[in-house]
Amino acid sequence: MDTKTTPKPSPAPVKVAEHMEAHDGNPWRQAMEQLDRAGRAMKLEPFALERLRHCKRILTVSVPVKMDDGRVEVFEGYRIQHNMDRGPAKGGIRYHPQVSLDEVKALSFWMTMKCAVVNLPYGGAKGGIICDPKKMSKGELERLTRRYTAEISIIIGPDKDIPAPDVNTNEQVMAWVMDTYSMTLGYSCPGVVTGKPLEIGGSLGRREATGRGVFYVTRELAARRGFDLRKAPIIVQGFGNVGSNAANIFAEHGCKVVGVSDVGGGLYDPKGLDLHDILHYRDTHDSIADYDKAEHMPIDKFLELPCDILVPAAMENAITKANAPRIQAKYIIEGANGPTSNDADHILHDKGVVVVPDILANAGGVTVSYFEWVQDMQSYFWSEKEINARLQDIIVGAFTEVYDVHLKEKVDMRTAAFMVGLRRLGKAATIRGMYP
């Protein structure tokens, strides 16, 4: 996340309609189509299915911020709790110009499904602010975060709804959230948020957790499908926290990463990239756009490069009906949330491409967030070795359960993952019943 100190003009508001038209479809409709498809396949109880078609709670807030030049800019923010039948809500906060209500609703739904697939005692939530953090100073970002936290403090809390980092938010932003919430209580409350710095209750292994989970599911897929992961060329789209950590962990295990990209463009070398050098360059230049030791590829062609494994780890709807026919990967591991549109899903399925869905593939982050929350609540912290071992057990167990349903029910991996999660959610809804 860019934290430049030179104030710049705030961006013009992004029109939601323009954002939606840029993709195959509305993300909330996409999520509901996925729900209905899986619900029909497993004959889910109508009562439970109808509950999951609606968010439990939607909060829209205005966030006035005094900018560095003295102006007051008012941003729009959201915090949405989709479902809390299995425990408190859990989900990240993103800062992006294209945040929209339907996007946050969809993300909160996918969080509900994700937590159920890996059997965490959480429901799903999500938050976001329509803004461009790359054009804001560190001071402006802090004031934005603190005011937003104050506005949503009526529904968050360690037993109610626990935020975490997402697109364009990081450990520092989570520290501001924790501090602001704690000030309203009059005492420190580290359990209100995860993804914090270690010094105030963060967990070892949290930063790498989502990328590590991507590696674990890819390794398990290779074992099940019978191919050597170290000989399978890998391309990673997105070089933020998830993508860069996933690429680095693949490389550490002897895998050949041939392509990586960020918003500035893609890098490609069929012989394999030097991830250590690229990470060092990114950390000293904020982007890999001008890295000169690999071939540069335009963003619109990057996903279509030859590879065996493709990891979309940027934003949703990266793979659409427009580019899906030209995807050359045999396996897609979804590091981002909702990176494949429903139309693209059908095209990839017809091509024989195996897609490991986001609600399984990127669940490592929320799993270690759960570990962090448990450690905060107990004031007892674990070693990184123990955290990684527990993470591996949960992710491998969830992958095995989903893959077995995929084989037994003869459905694609996404439908299988939904079926696993929906069984748990359906039972919880039925057992709890309806009040009053």
CA distance 19 to 100: 8
Percent of the chain with pLDDT over 90: 89
What is the pLDDT confidence band of residue 299, given thresholds at 50, 70 and 90? Answer: confident
Phi and psi at 428, nearest 5°, equal -60, -45
Residue 153's nearest CA partner among 127, 132, 117 is 127
The backbone torsions φ and ψ at residue 380, rounded to the nearest 5 degrees and listed phi first, read -140, 120
φ, ψ (nearest 5 deg) of residue 400? -60, -45
List pLDDT tens digits, range 218-273.
Answer: 999 999 999 999 999 999 999 999 999 999 999 999 999 999 999 888 999 999 99
Q: Which residue has the tokens 């009059």?
A: 186
What is the model's pTM? Answer: 0.91
| pLDDT at residue 278 greater than cutoff 90 | yes
Hey, which residues does 93 pair with through a beta bridge?
127, 165
Rounded Cα distance between 237 and 344, Å, is: 17
Structural domains of the chain, with CATH: 16-38+45-197 (3.40.50.10860), 209-361 (3.40.50.720)
For the chain, give the percent of residues with pLDDT over 70: 94
Length of the chain (residues): 436
| 301 tagged catalytic | no
Q: Indicate whether 289 pLDDT > 90.
A: no
- pLDDT at 67 exceeding the cut of 80: yes
Q: How far apart are CA 102 and CA 87, in angstroms?
A: 23
Beta bridge partners of 59: 79
pLDDT in tens, 168-212: 999 999 999 999 999 999 999 999 999 999 999 999 999 999 999
Structural Rg of the chain based on CA atoms: 21
Residue 157: pLDDT band by 50, 70, 90 thresholds? very high
Each residue's pLDDT tens digit, 10-21: 444 333 333 333
CA dihedral 348, 354, 359, 360 (to 10 degrees): -170
Q: Which of 90, 105, 114, 126 is catalytic?
A: 126
Q: Which whole-number Å values give the CA distances from 184 to 146, 165, 190, 201, 274, in the listed order?
A: 11, 21, 13, 18, 47
What is the distance between the alpha carbons of residues 154 and 162, in angstroms, rounded to a whole number? 12
Quick one: DSSP state of residue 13?
Answer: P
User: What does DSSP say about strands 89-96 and 331-333: parallel, antiparallel, or unpaired?
Assistant: unpaired
Residue holding tokens 């104030």? 7
Report the alpha-carbon distance of residue 247 to residue 232 in Å, rounded: 13
Give per-residue burial for 53-65: e unless 16+ CB within 10 Å, then b.
Answer: eebbeebebebeb
- Are the C-beta atoms of residues 247 and 335 closer than 8 Å to each other? no
The tokens describing 15, both together, are 């029109």
